């Protein structure tokens, strides 16, 4: 079956070097002049734009093959070089061939017996080299006994033998003399590669089709970079010919020869380390052959691997918690441009005609109609009537995007598979793409100007695949750690935290109002009392038969118990609601399925937000106010610490400090001071935590895990603490001191970056300076690390892209070689596990 589609199959691929003969044979023209056009603007015969090299003008026919523009793929030309020139790409091969063959007789510098012993054919050049280096003959040829000299190369293309320059002519003649049998021993397939072909004597001129000239608006012609470069080569080659024929002094000839070598080298690669790049008159470097291929903007990554797509959209994103997690809000103007093709049948004809009636400008309308013969017609006001008349089954209408259509939503960098998920479309007013803030985490998105991409699948198959493999709920469990990657964030956490604390209650009618506003209609499980507690309201979301035991962050109510769908004890906080933490979300997903889980998460999120909307939630500076008592104890902590530091310093100065093993006294002092000050700062943290108002909103956020932590609070209210640069106290700056404000050799805490002040009271000038140092350092660090880790990721994903788990559980590469004998050494599919492990006891209890 499959064979019937295969017309030709690649049997093998072989690589060869172009021989001078082949270059001439494949050439359609010999180029003899660097001129391009004559006075009439017609291409010069034998010039670089010779008509035999292909067509780039519409309407003309190719002089060589007779085809038109775009049919003719172009034809090579050639020039004969006045003197041979080394090909840049083969410098290393030429060098190792010169080093391993005799300068006189060009045999391998090994006796025949030894060559046979190495295998005689296709030996690695490095092995021959090693073998020669270790042979006793030293620098004598074993065949003709000629003495050998050391050959070096001065990058990029100049060869020396014993400091004396060897010209490409001499190199070529040595390579020519290498016998076929010896060349084969080097692994060269002499049918395809003769060593001397690596030194060019004729030069192929690429067809004009790969270097088309463009006509500017002014009517002026602008030539391709390659044409410019070829012009240089042909011109210098011509001058070299003329000088040689005129018998010019050898120095002039050699200068021109070097220039020719330079132009040919930069023709292949204009980014050689040792050469100044050839430039335009404007100063920008020319883009020659290797620049066209290489790098991100090159042919491979830009044009071949980097495809562009239609039916896609991109704009700024903003949050909307009232959307479901698996929805995406699409602005109406986008919906007017993005379309979905729908086939007309006798059952949906009337429905589709409504779209056609609306036309391209009125939503929901249609932009194109495709007739059964494949003709695509753009709908405009004046053809709507006619189109409605002729429409019949078999037509396809490209109608505007509507609620419920599927789309693939993506944010770069797409680092894991949750970076592209399928969402249901909701067409909304305004101009941003909208998503539920709970799905920000897998996309790593925030709303400080982030943009995202949207792709609309165009076939039934692709829509079905996207829906079943990529819809948000299919991606809930992370394949990295086997827990929910989607959870509550920010307000949703603090809201649920407030709701489920002991002291929360509200009138039943208010609770009913709140629950219905977030889409809960099943209220029978809400107790029929005048006032209901927060835990009871939360329980209304839970399935009636859900049991769970877990831990919360709170030390007052550490145990979270859910029994029969009722939250019996414990507060809900980040440990159970957040992404990647706790098993509550994981268990709900396992027991009730992904569709329920995603709906539950949406309701949970909106519940948290609704609680805050009804209760009111903000944060103020006053949240960080501390009683005098607290300030006193903080002052005492630092006064004590300062005394201890001084004590350590004087011990150090008196040489009586007990040093740590393997450390100098100075290092010991640093470590001890650092430890002491860190401890002091932590102590202030405890004081702040003790005295701060438990019901202040800042503390509610910190305690629930929604945002911020006690350390932040301590820095605002207590002390900013020690600033560390590369794991040490700050030492940089002036001679023997950090700032001229301090005395030289001051080892005290203040002089080395300890910030006693807190952000609220403000920093002293020296403290401010230290903080700025550390701030700048970490900023630089992030800026430099991001591209580095991006490149590391690229290398890893390219190296591992075709590994897969086979049916026998092994991980193998594309050629069937085993990488792991069991995936992850335990064969567990993490996305089907609970936090990376299998819950064996539950399986057993189920089987029983």
Partner 1 sequence: MKKIDLTTHVLIPKHSKLGDKDKEEMLKRYNVSLKGLPKILVSDAGISHLSARPGDVIEIVRDSPTAGKAFFYRVVVDE
By the criterion CB under 5 A, which residues form the site for Mg ion? 446, 448, 450
d(CA 818, CA 800): 13
For the record, the structure tokens of 190 come out as 């002499």
- Verify binding: residue 821, partner 1, rule CB under 8 A: yes
- Least Cβ distance, residue 839 to partner 1 (angstroms): 12
d(CA 582, CA 596): 18
The item of Zn ion, partner 1, Mg ion, none sharing an interface with residue 410, based on CB under 5 to 8 Å by kind, is none
**Which region among 79-87, 223-231, 738-746, 805-813 touches partner 1 (by CB under 8 A)?**
805-813
Nearer to partner 1, 306 or 827 (CB): 827
The item of Mg ion, Zn ion, partner 1, none sharing an interface with residue 826, based on CB under 5 to 8 Å by kind, is partner 1
Instruction: Give the strand order in the sheet containing 804-805.
Output: 804-805, 811-812, 818-820
For the record, the structure tokens of 486 come out as 């989607």
- 478: helix, coil or strand? coil
End-to-end CA distance of the chain: 49
Which residue's structure tokens are 């927060």? 534
Query: How many residues bind partner 1, per CB under 8 A?
Result: 18
The item of partner 1, Mg ion, Zn ion, none sharing an interface with residue 226, based on CB under 5 to 8 Å by kind, is none
- Verify binding: residue 24, Zn ion, rule CB under 5 A: no
- Least Cβ distance, residue 784 to Zn ion (angstroms): 51
d(CA 103, CA 164): 14
Which residue's structure tokens are 């002039």? 252
- Least Cβ distance, residue 580 to partner 1 (angstroms): 18
The item of Mg ion, Zn ion, partner 1, none sharing an interface with residue 450, based on CB under 5 to 8 Å by kind, is Mg ion
d(CA 110, CA 98): 14
Nearer to Mg ion, 448 or 628 (CB): 448
509-534: buried (b, 16+ CB within 10 Å) or exposed (e) per residue?
Answer: eebbebbeebebeeeeebeeeeebbb
- Verify binding: residue 156, partner 1, rule CB under 8 A: no
d(CA 287, CA 279): 9
- Verify binding: residue 734, partner 1, rule CB under 8 A: no
For the record, the structure tokens of 35 come out as 């001129």
Which residue's structure tokens are 């078999």? 394
Nearer to partner 1, 733 or 835 (CB): 835
Q: Which of residues 87-116 bind Zn ion (CB under 5 A)?
A: 102, 104-105
Nearer to partner 1, 361 or 817 (CB): 817
Which residue's structure tokens are 């799905």? 439
- Verify binding: residue 822, partner 1, rule CB under 8 A: yes
490: left (phi over 0), alpha (psi -120 to 50) or beta: left
Nearer to Mg ion, 29 or 445 (CB): 445
Fill in the per-residue mask, 36 to 75: x = in contact with Zn ion (CB under 5 A), - = not in contact: --------------------------x-xx------x---
DSSP classification of residue 704: H
- What would the 3-class secondary structure string for 435-467 be? ECHHHHHHHCCCCCCCEEEEECCCCHHHHHHHH
Longest CA–CA span in the chain (Å) reads 115
DSSP classification of residue 623: G
- Verify binding: residue 816, partner 1, rule CB under 8 A: yes
**Which region among 292-300, 413-421, 542-550, 809-817 touches partner 1 (by CB under 8 A)?**
809-817
Of the residues 817, 829, 842, 843, which one makes contact with partner 1 according to CB under 8 A: 817
- Verify binding: residue 38, partner 1, rule CB under 8 A: no
The item of Zn ion, partner 1, Mg ion, none sharing an interface with residue 146, based on CB under 5 to 8 Å by kind, is Zn ion
Closest by CA position to 242, among listed 253, 231, 229: 253
Nearer to Mg ion, 450 or 834 (CB): 450
Question: Hey, which residues does 433 pair with through a beta bridge?
Answer: 317
Nearer to partner 1, 4 or 815 (CB): 815
- Least Cβ distance, residue 818 to partner 1 (angstroms): 6
d(CA 712, CA 699): 11
**Which region among 513-521, 554-562, 666-674, 811-819 touches partner 1 (by CB under 8 A)?**
811-819
- Verify binding: residue 836, partner 1, rule CB under 8 A: yes
Q: Is the dihedral of CA 132, 136, 139, 144 positive or negative?
A: negative
Of the residues 19, 318, 554, 810, which one makes contact with partner 1 according to CB under 8 A: 810
Residues forming the site for Zn ion (CB under 5 A): 62, 64-65, 72, 102, 104-105, 141, 143-144, 146
Residues forming the site for partner 1 (CB under 8 A): 808, 810, 812, 815-822, 824-828, 836-837
């Amino acid at each position: 079956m499959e064979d019937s589609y295969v017309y030709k199959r690649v049997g093998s691929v072989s690589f060869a070097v172009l021989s001078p003969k082949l270059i001439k044979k494949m050439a359609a023209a010999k180029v003899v002049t660097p001129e391009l056009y004559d006075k009439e603007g017609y291409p010069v015969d034998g010039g670089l734009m010779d008509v035999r090299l292909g067509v780039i003008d519409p309407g003309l026919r190719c002089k060589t093959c007779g085809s038109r523009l775009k049919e003719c793929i172009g034809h090579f030309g050639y020039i004969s070089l006045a003197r041979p020139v080394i090909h840049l790409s083969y410098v290393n091969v030429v060098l190792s061939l010169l080093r391993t063959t005799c300068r006189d007789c060009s045999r391998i510098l090994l006796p025949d017996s030894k060559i046979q012993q190495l295998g005689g054919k296709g030996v690695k050049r490095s092995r021959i080299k090693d073998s020669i280096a270790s042979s006793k003959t030293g620098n004598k040829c074993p065949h003709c006994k000629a003495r050998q000299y050391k050959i070096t190369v001065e990058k990029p293309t100049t060869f020396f033998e014993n400091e004396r320059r060897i010209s490409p002519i001499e190199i070529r003649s040595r390579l020519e003399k290498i016998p076929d049998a010896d060349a084969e021993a080097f692994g060269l397939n002499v049918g395809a590669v003769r060593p001397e072909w690596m030194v060019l004597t004729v030069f192929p001129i690429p067809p004009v089709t790969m270097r088309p000239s463009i006509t500017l608006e002014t009517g002026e012609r602008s030539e391709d970079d390659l044409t410019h470069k070829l012009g240089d080569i042909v011109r210098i080659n011509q001058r070299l010919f003329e000088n040689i024929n005129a018998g010019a002094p050898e120095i002039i000839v050699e200068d021109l020869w070097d220039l020719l070598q330079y132009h040919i080298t930069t023709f292949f690669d204009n980014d050689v380390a040792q050469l100044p790049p050839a430039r335009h008159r404007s100063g920008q470097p020319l883009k020659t052959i290797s620049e066209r291929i290489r790098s991100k903007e090159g042919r491979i990554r830009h044009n071949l691997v980097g495809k562009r797509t239609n039916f896609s959209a991109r704009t700024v994103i903003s949050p909307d918690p009232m959307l479901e997690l698996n929805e995406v809000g699409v602005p109406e103007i986008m919906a007017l441009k993005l379309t979905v093709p729908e086939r007309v049948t006798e059952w949906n004809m009337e429905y589709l005609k409504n779209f056609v009636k609306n036309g391209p400008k009125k939503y929901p309308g249609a932009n194109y109609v495709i007739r059964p013969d494949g003709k695509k017609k753009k709908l405009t006001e004046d053809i709507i009537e006619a189109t409605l008349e002729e429409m019949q089954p078999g037509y396809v209408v490209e109608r505007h995007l509507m609620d419920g259509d599927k789309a693939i939503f993506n944010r770069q960098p797409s680092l894991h598979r949750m970076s592209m998920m399928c969402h249901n479309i909701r067409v909304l007013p305004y101009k941003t793409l909208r998503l539920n803030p709970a799905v920000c985490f897998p996309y790593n998105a925030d709303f400080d100007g982030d943009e995202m991409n949207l792709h609309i699948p165009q076939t039934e198959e692709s829509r079905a695949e996207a829906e079943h493999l990529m819809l948000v709920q299919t991606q809930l469990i992370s394949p990295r750690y086997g827990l929910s990657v989607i959870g509550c964030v920010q307000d949703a956490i603090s809201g649920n935290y407030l709701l489920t604390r002991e002291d929360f209650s509200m009138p039943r009618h208010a609770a009913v109002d709140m629950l219905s506003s977030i889409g809960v209609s099943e209220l029978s499980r809400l107790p029929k009392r005048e006032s209901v507690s927060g835990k009871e309201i939360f329980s209304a979301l839970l399935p009636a038969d859900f049991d769970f035991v877990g831990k919360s962050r709170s030390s007052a109510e550490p145990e979270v118990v859910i029994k029969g769908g009722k939250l019996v004890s414990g507060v809900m906080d980040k440990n159970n609601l957040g992404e990647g933490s706790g098993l509550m979300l994981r268990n709900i997903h396992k027991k009730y399925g992904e569709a329920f889980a995603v709906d539950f998460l949406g309701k949970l999120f909106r519940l948290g937000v609704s609680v805050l909307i009804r209760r009111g939630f903000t944060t103020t500076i006053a949240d960080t106010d501390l009683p005098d008592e607290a300030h006193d104890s903080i002052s005492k902590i630092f006064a004590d610490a300062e005394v201890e530091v001084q004590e350590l310093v004087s011990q150090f100065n008196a040489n009586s400090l007990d040093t740590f093993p393997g450390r100098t006294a100075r290092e010991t002092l640093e470590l001890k001071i650092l430890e002491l000050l860190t401890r002091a700062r932590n102590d202030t943290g405890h004081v702040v935590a003790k005295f701060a108002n438990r019901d202040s909103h800042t503390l509610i956020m910190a305690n629930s895990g929604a945002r911020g932590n006690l350390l932040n609070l301590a820095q605002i209210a207590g002390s900013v603490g020690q600033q560390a640069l590369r794991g040490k106290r700050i030492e940089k700056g002036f001679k023997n001191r950090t700032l001229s404000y301090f005395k030289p050799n001051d080892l005290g805490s203040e002089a080395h970056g300890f910030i006693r002040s807190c952000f609220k009271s403000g920093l002293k000038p020296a403290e401010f300076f230290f903080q700025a140092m550390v701030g700048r350092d970490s900023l630089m660090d992030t800026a430099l690390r991001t591209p580095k880790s991006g490149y590391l990721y690229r290398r890893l994903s390219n190296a591992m892209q075709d590994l897969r788990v086979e049916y026998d559980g092994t991980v193998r590469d594309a050629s069937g070689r085993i990488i792991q004998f069991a995936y992850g050494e335990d064969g567990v599919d993490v996305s089907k596990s609970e936090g990376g492990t299998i819950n064996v006891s539950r399986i057993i209890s189920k089987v029983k």
